[in-house]
Structure formats: C-alpha cells, structure tokens
C-alpha cells in the first residue's frame, strides 16, 4: 500500500486542498485521509491504526462520510484527494461505529477481571465511549492460550484481529515473525508457521496490542494499570538512549513500557525517522536486575574474617583515612580510578573532579576506553569533533549506508531500525561489512562477508578502489591537494588483489561497494566493534575518515561518519572528561586555557599535564606495584579482561581496592571496601546518548536498602578526606556543568557538529598516512585456521544484563561455541558435540552449537558470559595510540574430541 510517507527527501508530493467538517485543509496528495483528519486535532476512533505502519483497515471504526458516497468509508485506507468533502461526526456515523464495536465485542470473552490489559484497553474504551449495552448473540471462541514462547503469551480469545502486531513486526522491525492463520474457525495471530515464537522479542507487538491478546510473561497477572507508578526515564543498556517508562508498584519494578503504544497512535509517518518510540528486548524485558535479590544493601569493609557489613559512616571514614594515608606515603600518582560509562553525566563529572582535585591524580578512565575512545580520538584528531556526526534522521534518509563491523541489530537494536527504515521505506543501498551473517546483512543490498579481523583491510581496499575508479570528490580534496597526493602515494603499494586475498572478498565486490558509496548523494558510515574493538581500531577509523574525505562525504548535509555507543553513557563519559587525555568538554587535558578555567572553578591545581594513565596502564602499574590504591566505580576489569592480562595479580597487589557497585562483582571480591551503589532506576540525572542528546534519568524507586547514589558516595569520601565538594543535589552539579560547559544540556538537543578536516589534512597527514596503508598491515597468526570472535547478543549488554532474570530466561548461557553447520559437518561434530579449542593462550573443551549466522572458518562465543572462560583464550593487544585494549578476536584451532 505504502500510503505513507509520501514526501521523501527525493520526491515532493503535490499539495491538495480538501474540506473536512466545513474547514478547508491542505495536505500532501496520497496520504491517508485519517492522517489528514487527525492532523486537524480531530480524533476519529480507530483500533487497527498506528502511524508507524501502513493503514490496515480491519477494525472498521474510522468511518467518515464522503460527499457523493452513500455509505461511510474507512478513512485510514482512503487516500486524501483534491476536493474531497468529508464529514467526521454525526449520529449516523456514531451508530455505524457502534456497530463495528459491537461486532468485536460479541466474540470477546468475559474476562476483564483477569486480563492484564484491563484499564489500558482500547476495546474497553470504545465500548464505553459508544455506550454499548445489551449485546445480542454474544458467543465465546474458546481458543487455548498459546504459552509456548519464552516471553509472550497469546490469548487469541481476546484478539480483535486488528493486525497491529503483525504490521509493526513487518513494517517497522522488519522481522516478520507473526502472521494471521485461520485456525479453529477464527483468524488468529500466530508466530510464523505456528511454532513457538522465537524472535528478537522487542515487544513492540505487546506495546501496540490494543487489547490483552498479547501479554508479557514476566509480569503476567501481577498488576493492574492503576496500581502502577510510571516514571519516564532513559534506558541504560546501550547508547541509543531510548525513552522508557519504568512502572513500579511499591518497591518493585513490574514492567517497562515504551512511548510506543496503541494509545499513542496519531503521528506522522515522517516523524518515525527519529525513532518510533519502541524498545528492544533488553530495555523492555531486562529490568529485573534493578530489584534483584543479589543487590548489595550495605557497605562492606574487609576485616580478618572477610568482607563485613559496617555502617556507612564507618565505611567512609576508614576508606578515606586509608586513601589519605596512601596519598601521603606514596603520593597522588599511586592512586587511580575507573568508572563505568553507565553512570550519569553528573556522577562522571563528580568522579573526575574528585580524582583530579581531592586525590590529585590524573589516573582515571572509564569503560569508554574499551572501544568508543578509538572513534572519539580519531574524529577528535582528524575532524575536531567528539562524537558521531549524523542524527538518526540523516541515517534514515541516507541513500547509501556503509555499515562496517557493526552488528547494530544486536548492539543497538533501536538505532538499527533507522538503517532498516532506510532500506525498507527509503530504498537505500546498504553495504554491510562483517565477518558474520548479521541480521542487517540479510536485509542489505550489498552484504560483504570478510574474514574475521579484516574489516580494516576492507576499508583500505575501499579507499584504494575509490582512488582507482576516480570517484574522488573534487571540492573537498581541493582544500588539501597535498594530502590527496600523500594518500595516493601511500596506497600505491596496496593492490585490490591483496585486499581481496586477505579479506576473502572478490575485487569486483570491493569496486562495486566503493562505487555505491561514492556515487550516492547522501552516504553515511556506521562503524562498530568490528573496527573499534579490533586490532588497529584507531588507524582503521582514520582510514574510514579517509574514505569519507576523498568521496566528499564529510561535510555535505546528510553525510558523515558515525558509531553507535555500546554502553549507556559512553558519550557522556567522554564529554565529562573521564579520561586522562580529556578535560570536561571534552578538551585536551594539556589545553592551557581550559586547565586554567577548571582549576579556577574547582579552586585547586590540576595534576600535571603530562601525567595520567589509561585503563590498561593503570592495571599494568597496579601489577608493577606502582599504583597502591584503586577506586573502581561499577567497573569489573577482572571479569572483562582475559586472564592472561593478569588483572588478578594486579588487584591482589593493591593496598586499597575500593569497589562501588550495585552487585558484589568478581572485582569486588578482592576489594578492601565495597560500597553499595544504585542502578539507573534509582538515580536522578542525565545521560548523553550517542547522538549527543542529553536526556533525563529519573528515579523510579528509592535506593534499595542502604545503597546510595554514586556521587553521594564520592562526596562522602571527599568529606572524609577533608575536602568538600559543594554539591547537595543533582541540580547543583548540573548548575556547575552548565556554567563550565555552556550549552551542554541545550534542552536535550545536541548542537550540530561540523567536521573540519583541513587542519588535520594540512599538518602531518602525509607523515602518518604511509604507515597506515603499508601492505601486510594485518599479520595473521599462523597455524590457527579458525577465527574466534567474542560476539554480542541482542539479548544482553555487557555483564549487567546477566543479572536480569528475564533476559537470562530468554538467552541463557549455553556455554557452547557457535559454529556454522557447514563447519560442524566438516569437523564431524553434531549439535551438542564436544570440541577442543586451542589458542596461543591456552586450550578449552567446549560444546558446539550450530548457528546459521556464522561463516565457515569462524566460531564465536558471547562476550557476556565468562563460563566457560572462552575469553581467556584471547590475548590482549593494546593500541599504540589510544591505549585501547583489543581482546575480541583471536585465531584458534578446533579439534573434535
């Protein structure tokens, strides 16, 4: 049908005028009449309509009278045409709509009391609004409830066959997991093929179901809408920053709902370019960690008998005394701090101020170091910006999208819908470069499967191909002709055949991809962990910038280079200067004016400009005994980094390890002081999403037990050390940030960034480019034929989601190595068979699980699980420039047991 959107970036629909209830309205030709009516502020009841997908027209409620037609027409499926005269109100229409409601009611079961949708049910609303009484011929369907799926129950007795669930799954999610099926005399919604539903479980079908036909297993029968308190907050799982409503009953989280719902159905399809308001499986069903029984409730201090619960005052006092002692004995340099990027901006800001002024050290880092920092450093260095360049609208409207090493449907499911919409609605060409068959690759026009770890080589191949095919954009290159000369010279040695051999991609495909990318009017690059978290991530990002630069995709509207942040507030951690190389802003730590501004504002001198250690250096120094005290906020390096890196030795060397976390993590087992922290659902503050939007986090619950907000603990520690941080409320911190970083909050809307590569291209570009394009940049470890990848699952995010029982139900740790069927057959192992996996670091016996998404020659294991310790097979490689640790891929041999 594709009634909407009629106006795309490429075509403009004609404007027409029509008459609705005596008013003349202008609209775009071809849009649904229902949209035109609702744009006037008139609400015509409709049960099967939702603005995010094409009108379906099954409920028969949205009837209007068109002049010249005898019977009422369904306004949703009717297109607006010039000169229409429409009446939307009247006794006759009311009666006709009432008839439609009665039709649905007559086969609806009498189970409002037990239905979860009761009180939030469109059928109830419609029946009440149309004053239906004394129905004739009511009958029951008696269809058994389908409880096979792990997450959703389907009670088809209640279904009104509006098709909203099917449509949103098909049109918005492009997963198409549901279908109508005639069964037992009734049209029912079933999972494709009438199996147990097995999909991404984004739950959008649940959100748009206007009745109680689809219900959520995790909160089934435990609530009624009027018992719940809704708190609108921002999801903490990934950098998309989806808005969500945490619904709580007393002290427990009952469910999470999205702004997307059947209730919120009047919108413009054009609006969805910024997002449809839905959530992913993690946001919607992964809330159980918030009120988990495992949460820490009291501060613990290590005594002879181990970690002992103590009152807050004692815990803070002891810790502060010991910090003071270490500072006086070994100097500030012997203290370091790590913080997770899931904290709010305010907490990150207080953390770096606490570290830099109270403890006087620049040894601080956040979990953005695991990969995001590569991107930030690269664009900071080359383009003078600090985050991704495009908005989600740009991505949706792009004509060509290059997705490199980013399994965005798994890491950032909601942002990936922008790419999906670009493919489906705006017909964009998408080049997906990955070493496994990602969901996006299945939808993409140009799926490019490379060998594991060669995404960077492929990017260089693209640059080479652009140069060979002369797809160079003359305007941009003209600004720095000498840089182009340098690039051409650097890439001379590189031949496409070499690239093809290394990556396993035919030359034609590289040429083709380069052409598609360069020739599109609006091209967007999205890079992910396949680039940023693997060998030479920094260099490869610079190569991507080269590609964008030579093809002129850097500062044209709608073009740019982007990454999707993996943890909730990675961008905020960078912006708040939680890295040794940055001050809040971020500005370079060595920047003299900025240093002066901050030291004046904080009333304290900053640590020397040359000092400061990053994550890896901190841990190495701990191991070497140079760092004596480590303050870890929400981080868990022991569980994150492979064993060979020696985190365990490093932690046991410490004189004082302070852990501040909602859970007693592996790292916290080694701690001398453990402070119970809050989860995002108890916090008040802001987070910055990958697009730079600053969004609110609002407390849905009171802090559990005695757990406290992270910044409260930091202020408490500072007080214990005799310094006072002048904060009493989150607003105090925000006021300070507002003063020091004017415009940072900017009403939630990010300032547009302008990439300016001139300085980079003119100064020193020629010196660095040679090394990047050197042939054989990626040396393969010989003798080990299989590439082992530590992958991310859609159902999980970091280690946090493993505390959410809902997500663990959906995706438990199978403990099995994922391999393609083909490869399993070659090895002669069946599903569940055992193999021995050997890398340079060690050997492990594992079960095998077939995975259709894996390519031959690769195997994978989810990075979220440490049992069995597959991560220990990988060696940590540290980026020479950005000090980012790479430990997501390695080469292994696999033998059948």
Partner 1 sequence: MDTQNQTKRLLDAILFREIWKAMKVTFKHMFHRPMTFQYPREKRTIPDAHRGALGLLRYDNGQERCVGCDLCEAACPSRCIKVISEEDKSLPLQRYASEFYIDITKCVFCGYCVEACPVNALAMTKMYEYSTHDKRTLLFDKKRLYEIGEQHLEDAKKYLYAHNQEQDDEESRAYRYHFPQPIGKIEASDS
Partner 2 sequence: MAYLEDQRETVYKVDPAHPETKDLPILRTEELLLNMGPQHPATHGVLKVILDLEGERITKSTVVMGFLHRGVEKLAEHGTYHQFIPHTDRLDYVCAMYNNFAYCRAVEKLMNVTVPERAEYLRTIVAEVQRIIGHLFWLGTQALDIGAMTVFFYTFRDREILLDWFDELCGARLTTSWYRIGGVERDFTASLETKIRDFLAYFPPKIDEYVVFLEKNRIWLARTVGVAVISAEDALGYGLSGPTLRGSGVDYDLRKYESYGAYPKCEFSVPVGKNGDTYDRYWIRIEEMRESIKIIRQCMDQMPKEGPVMAEVPSVTLPPKNRVFTNLESMIQQFKLFSQGFDAPPGEIYCGTEAHKGELGFYIVSTGAGNPYRLKIRSPSFIHMGAFDFMAKGYMIADAVTIFGSYDIVMGECDR
By CB under 8 A, name the binding residues for partner 1: 109-114, 118-119, 140, 142-149, 155, 157, 196, 220-224, 226-227
Query: What is the Cα–Cα distance from 104 to 122, expressed in whole angstroms?
Result: 11
748: partner contacted, choices partner 2, partner 1, none (Cβ within 5-8 A by kind):
none
Question: If you search the block for the tokens 């501060």, which residue do you land on?
Answer: 299
Which of 102, 732 has the CB closer to partner 2? 102
DSSP state of 20: E
Closest CA to 395 of 430, 437, 439: 430
Phi/psi of residue 180, nearest 5 degrees: -85, 145
Cα separations in angstroms, 852 against 194, 432, 442, 818: 21, 17, 12, 9
Distance of alpha carbon 874 from alpha carbon 641, whole angstroms: 9
Task: Answer with the entry of partner 2, partner 1, none that 148 interacts with (C-beta below 5 to 8 A by kind).
Answer: partner 1
Interior angle at CA 455, CA 844 and CA 523, nearest 5:
145
Instruction: Indicate the DSSP class of residue 14.
Output: P
Cβ distance to partner 1 smaller for residue 69 or 183: 183
Tell me how far apart the alpha carbons of residues 389 and 400 are, in angstroms, rounded to a whole number: 16
The pair of three-digit structure tokens given for residue 225, joined into one six-digit string? 């809408």
Residue 447, SS3 per DSSP: strand
Identify what 133 binds: partner 1, partner 2, none; CB under 5 to 8 Å per kind.
partner 2
CB of 134 to partner 2, least distance (A): 7
Nearer to partner 1, 223 or 663 (CB): 223
- Cβ proximity to partner 1: between 148 and 626 the closer is 148
The phi-psi region of residue 735 (left if phi > 0; otherwise alpha if psi is between -120 and 50; otherwise beta) is alpha
Least Cα distance to 4 among 396, 207, 393, 267 occurs for: 267
Between residues 228 and 633, which has the closer beta carbon with respect to partner 1?
228
Which residue spans within 198-297 are E strands per DSSP? 214-216, 229-234, 243-249, 252-257
Residue 642 CA to residue 870 CA, distance in Å, equals 9
The minimum distance between CB 121 and partner 1, in angstroms, equals 13
- Residue 140, binding choice from partner 2, partner 1, none, Cβ under 5 to 8 Å by partner class: partner 1
Residue 410, number of CB atoms within 10 A of its CB: 25
Of 222 and 774, nearer to partner 2 (C-beta) is: 222
Interface residue list for partner 2 (CB under 8 A): 105, 108-110, 112-113, 118-119, 123-125, 127-129, 131-135, 138, 224, 226
- In a 13 Å sphere around the CA of 448, the CA atoms on its Cβ side amount to 34
- Residue with Cβ nearer partner 2 (130 or 269): 130
- Residue 135 interacts with which of partner 1, partner 2, none, CB < 5 to 8 Å by class: partner 2
Closer to partner 2 by Cβ: residue 108 or 372 = 108
- In the complex, the smallest distance separating the C-beta of residue 118 from partner 2, rounded to whole angstroms, is 6
Nearer to partner 2, 60 or 453 (CB): 60
Decide which of partner 1, partner 2, none touches 22; Cβ closer than 5 to 8 Å per partner kind: none
Partner that binds at residue 134, options partner 2, partner 1, none, CB closer than 5 to 8 Å by kind:
partner 2
Taking the complex as a whole, the smallest distance from the CB of residue 175 to partner 1 amounts, in Å, to 20
C-alpha Rg value of the chain to the nearest Å: 29
> How far apart are CB 453 and partner 1 at their closest, in Å?
37
Rounded Cα distance between 651 and 340, Å, is 17
Token pair belonging to 657: 């390890």
Of the candidates 692, 679, 413, the one whose C-alpha atom is nearest the C-alpha of residue 574 is 692
Please, what is the end-to-end C-alpha distance for the chain in angstroms? 55
Q: Which among 151, 112, 126 is positioned nearest to 63, based on CA atoms? A: 126
Least separation, in Å, of the C-beta of 148 and partner 1?
4
User: If phi over 0 gives left and psi between -120 and 50 gives alpha, with beta otherwise, what is residue 651?
Assistant: alpha
User: Which of the choices partner 2, partner 1, none does residue 852 contact, using the CB cut-off of 5 to 8 A by kind?
Assistant: none
Give the integer Cα–Cα distance in Å for 757 and 560.
12
- Residue among 225 and 842 whose Cβ is closer to partner 2: 225
DSSP state letters, 46-110: -SS--TTS-----S---EEEETT-SS-EETTTSBP-TT-EEE--SHHHHHHHHHHHHHHHTTS-S
Among partner 1, partner 2, none, partner that 221 touches (CB below 5 to 8 angstroms by kind): partner 1
Residue 98 or 595 with smaller CB distance to partner 2: 98
Q: What are the residues facing 366 on neighbouring strands? A: 339
Nearer to partner 1 by Cβ, of 148 and 778: the residue is: 148
Kindly state the smallest distance separating residue 199's Cβ from partner 2, in Å.
32
Q: Are 197 and 281 in contact (CB under 8 A)?
A: no
Between 218 and 786, name the residue whose CB sits nearer to partner 1.
Answer: 218
Q: CB under 5 to 8 A by kind: which of partner 1, partner 2, none does 131 bind?
A: partner 2
Tally of residues, the chain: 897
The answer to whether 298 and 706 have CB atoms below 8 angstroms apart is yes
Q: Which does 147 bind (CB under 5 to 8 A by kind): partner 1, partner 2, none?
A: partner 1
138 binds, among partner 1, partner 2, none (CB under 5 to 8 A by kind): partner 2
Contact predicate 160/47, CB 8 Å:
yes
Least CB distance to partner 1 at residue 847 (A): 18
Q: Is the separation of the CB atoms in 155 and 121 below 8 Å?
A: no
Q: How far apart are CB 637 and partner 1 at their closest, in Å?
A: 36
Q: In terms of CB distance, is 211 or 359 closer to partner 1? A: 211
Closer CB to partner 1, residue 116 or residue 539?
116
Q: Which two tokens stand for residue 424?
A: 């489906």
Q: Rounded to the nearest whole angstrom, what is the least distance from the CB of residue 250 to partner 1 in the complex?
A: 9
CB of 120 vs partner 1, minimal distance in Å: 13
Q: How far is the CB of 795 from partner 1 (least distance, A)?
A: 17
Tokens of 524: 């967007």
CA–CA gap between residue 406 and residue 412 (Å, rounded): 9
C-beta of 97: minimal distance to partner 1 in Å?
26
Whole-number minimum distance, CB 211 to partner 2, in Å? 11
Least Å from the CB of residue 154 to partner 1: 9
């Amino acid at each position: 049908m594709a009634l909407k959107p009629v106006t795309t970036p490429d075509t403009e629909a004609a404007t027409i005028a029509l008459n609705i209830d005596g008013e003349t309205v202008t609209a775009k030709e071809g849009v649904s009449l229902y949209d035109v009516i609702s744009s006037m502020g008139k609400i015509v009841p409709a049960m099967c309509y939702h603005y995010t997908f094409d009108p379906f027209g099954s409920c028969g409620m949205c009837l209007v009278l068109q002049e010249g037609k005898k019977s009422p027409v369904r306004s949703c499926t009717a297109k607006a045409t010039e000169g229409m005269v429409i009446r939307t109100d009247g006794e006759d229409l009311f009666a006709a709509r009432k008839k439609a409601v009665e039709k649905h009611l007559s086969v609806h079961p009498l189970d409002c009391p037990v239905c979860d949708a009761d009180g939030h049910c469109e059928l109830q609303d419609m029946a009440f609004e149309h004053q239906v009484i004394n129905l004739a011929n009511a009958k029951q369907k008696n269809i058994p409830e389908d409880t096979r799926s792990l997450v959703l129950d389907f009670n088809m007795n209640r279904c009104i066959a509006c098709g909203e669930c099917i449509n949103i799954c098909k049109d918005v999610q492009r997963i198409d997991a549901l279908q109508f099926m005639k069964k037992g005399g009734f049209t029912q919604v079933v999972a494709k093929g009438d199996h147990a539903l097995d999909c991404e479980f984004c739950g959008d079908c649940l959100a748009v179901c206007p009745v109680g036909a689809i219900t959520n297993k995790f909160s089934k029968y435990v609530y009624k809408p009027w018992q719940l308190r809704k708190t609108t907050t921002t999801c903490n799982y990934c950098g998309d920053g989806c808005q969500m409503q945490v619904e709580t009953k007393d002290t427990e989280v009952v469910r999470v709902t999205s702004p997307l719902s059947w209730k919120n159905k009047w919108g413009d399809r054009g609006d969805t370019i910024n997002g449809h308001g839905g959530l992913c499986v993690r946001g919607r069903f992964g809330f159980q960690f918030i009120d988990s029984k495992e949460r820490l409730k009291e501060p613990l201090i290590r005594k002879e008998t181990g970690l002992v619960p103590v009152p807050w005052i004692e815990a803070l006092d002891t810790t502060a005394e010991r910090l003071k002692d270490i500072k006086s004995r070994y100097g500030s340099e012997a203290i370091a701090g790590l913080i997770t990027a899931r904290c709010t901006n305010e907490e990150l800001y207080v953390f770096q101020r606490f570290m830099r002024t109270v403890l006087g050290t620049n040894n601080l880092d956040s979990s953005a170091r695991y990969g995001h920092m590569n991107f930030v450093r690269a664009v900071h260095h080359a383009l003078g910006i600090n985050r991704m360049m495009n908005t989600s609208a740009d991505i949706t409207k792009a004509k060509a999208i290059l997705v490199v090493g980013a399994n965005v449907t798994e890491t950032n499911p909601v942002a990936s819908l922008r790419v999906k919409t670009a493919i489906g609605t705006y017909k964009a060409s998408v080049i997906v470069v990955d070493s496994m068959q990602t969901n996006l690759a299945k939808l993409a026009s140009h799926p490019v499967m490379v060998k594991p770890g060669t995404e960077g080589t492929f990017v260089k191949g693209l640059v080479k191909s652009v140069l060979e095919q002369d797809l160079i954009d003359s305007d941009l290159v003209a600004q720095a002709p000498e840089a182009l000369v340098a690039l051409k010279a650097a890439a001379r040695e590189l031949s496409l055949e070499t690239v093809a051999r290394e990556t396993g991609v035919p030359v034609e495909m590289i040429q083709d991809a380069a052409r598609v990318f360069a020739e599109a009017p609006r091209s967007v690059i999205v890079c992910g962990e396949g680039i940023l978290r693997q060998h030479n991530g920094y260099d490869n990002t610079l190569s991507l910038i080269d590609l964008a630069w030579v093809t002129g995709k850097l500062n044209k509207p709608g073009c740019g280079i982007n990454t999707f942040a993996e943890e909730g507030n990675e961008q905020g951690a960078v912006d708040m200067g939680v890295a040794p190389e940055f001050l809040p802003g971020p500005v370079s730590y060595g920047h003299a004016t900025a240093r002066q501004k901050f030291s004046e504002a904080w009333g304290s001198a900053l640590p020397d400009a040359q000092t400061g250690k990053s994550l890896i250096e901190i841990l190495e120094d701990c191991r070497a005994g140079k760092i004596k005290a480590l303050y870890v906020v929400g981080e868990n390096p022991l569980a994150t980094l492979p064993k060979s890196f020696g985190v365990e030795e490093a932690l046991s060397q410490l004189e004082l390890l302070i852990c501040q976390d909602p859970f007693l993590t592996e790292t916290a087992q080694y701690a001398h002081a453990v402070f119970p922290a809050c989860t995002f659902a108890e916090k008040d503050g802001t987070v910055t999403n990958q697009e730079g939007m600053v969004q609110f986090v609002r407390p849905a619950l009171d802090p559990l037990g005695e757990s406290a907000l992270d910044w409260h603990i930091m202020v408490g520690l500072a007080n214990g050390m005799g310094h006072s941080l002048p904060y009493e409320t989150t607003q105090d911190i925000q006021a300070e940030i507002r003063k020091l970083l004017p415009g940072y909050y900017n009403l939630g809307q990010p300032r547009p960034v302008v990439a300016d590569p001139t300085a980079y291209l003119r100064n020193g570009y020629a010196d660095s480019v040679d090394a990047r394009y050197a042939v054989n940049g990626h040396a393969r470890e010989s003798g080990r034929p299989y590439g082992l990848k530590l992958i991310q699952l859609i159902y999980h995010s970091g280690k946090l989601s493993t505390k959410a029982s809902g997500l663990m139900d959906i995706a438990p740790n199978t403990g099995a190595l994922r391999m393609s069927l083909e490869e399993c057959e070659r090895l002669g192992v069946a599903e569940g068979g055992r193999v021995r996996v050997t890398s340079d670091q060690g050997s492990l016996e594992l079960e095998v699980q077939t995975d259709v998404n894996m390519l031959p020659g690769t195997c994978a294991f989810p990075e979220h699980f440490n049992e069995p310790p597959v991560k220990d097979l990988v060696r940590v490689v540290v980026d020479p420039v950005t000090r980012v640790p790479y430990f997501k891929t390695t080469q292994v041999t696999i033998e059948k047991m």
